[in-house]
Amino acid sequence: MTITLGDKKFKYKKDIKQFVSDNIENWAHGKIDKKHLDFNFMYELFYRHPELERKLYGSDIEYFHVVSKRNKQLAYKCFNGSRDTFSWKCCISQKSPSHLAMVKMAMRNSVDFQIAEYRNINNTICVDCSNNLLFCDVDHKKPFIELFNDFFEEYEVDIPDLKISTKRNLDEIKTTNFDLEDEYTKSFYDEWTKYHYVNAILQYLCKNCHKNKTKKE
């Protein structure tokens, strides 16, 4: 029952998940192309994607890269120039992302600007170990998933009615966001971003402390 991906062997799917999580940081240093040690792992992982054919754009992978360390978002470029993100979690589970998973991703993406703002106005001192570092992660003191659940407890939302748009951003990468031209979705987006602004307690954690916290969560 072992799962082999490139030169790596995994006993359980959760071990693959752990391996990807642990390596996002290293992979963020550059392209993962054929010369990269983990290319074969990544390639074979990608080939498990439930919508592989659609994701290949009639081409094949030139390289993979990390677009967001915080959201652990991976992307790729094809030889024909097509670029896209992909859900490595779907590659592990081999199930298509549910609408709810897309909504969660869009909710994370829609508050990215608040997190970027926080980064700009605060000193980067880790709240756990007091190390003052240039590059700390911005962490949700109350885990994001709790904030998410609290929001849905307070507000009546018809999740199936929320419209998702996967437009390309300036880097030609498809991002999962809300379709703000849809009136209902726009009102939801406004409430959520306001809610996040008021209720999210952001703090700095150094890489190590952040890793430990995420493991506990």
Nearer to Zn ion, 193 or 203 (CB): 203
**Smallest distance from the beta carbon of 119 to Zn ion, in angstroms?**
16
Cα–Cα distance, 204 to 49 (Å, whole number):
34
Applying CB under 5 A, the site for Zn ion has a residue count of 5
**Smallest distance from the beta carbon of 27 to Zn ion, in angstroms?**
22
Cα–Cα distance, 90 to 46 (Å, whole number):
9
Structure token pair of residue 107: 């909710």
**Smallest distance from the beta carbon of 129 to Zn ion, in angstroms?**
3
Measuring CA to CA, how many Å separate 112 from each of 14, 22, 101, 107? 27, 22, 17, 9
Cα–Cα distance, 213 to 217 (Å, whole number):
6
Residues in 129-188 that interact with Zn ion by CB under 5 A: 129
Which region among 9-17, 58-66, 104-112, 126-134 touches Zn ion (by CB under 5 A)? 126-134
DSSP state of 160: G
Measuring CA to CA, how many Å separate 62 from each of 26, 39, 44, 50, 72? 19, 10, 14, 20, 20
206 binds Zn ion (CB under 5 A): yes
For Zn ion, which residue of 25, 33, 128, 191 counts as binding (CB under 5 A)? 128
Nearer to Zn ion, 91 or 209 (CB): 209
Nearer to Zn ion, 45 or 138 (CB): 138
CA atoms within 13 A on the CB side of 36: 18
For Zn ion, which residue of 32, 126, 147, 200 counts as binding (CB under 5 A)? 126
Nearer to Zn ion, 45 or 206 (CB): 206
**Smallest distance from the beta carbon of 120 to Zn ion, in angstroms?**
20
Which of 69, 55, 34 shows the shortest CA–CA distance to 174? 55
Nearer to Zn ion, 104 or 213 (CB): 213
**Smallest distance from the beta carbon of 211 to Zn ion, in angstroms?**
10
Which of 95, 64, 94 shows the shortest CA–CA distance to 173? 64
Residues 10, 2 contacting (CB under 8 angstroms):
yes
**Smallest distance from the beta carbon of 108 to Zn ion, in angstroms?**
23
Residues 56, 46 contacting (CB under 8 angstroms):
no
Nearer to Zn ion, 102 or 209 (CB): 209
Interface ranges with Zn ion (CB under 5 A)? 126, 128-129, 206, 209
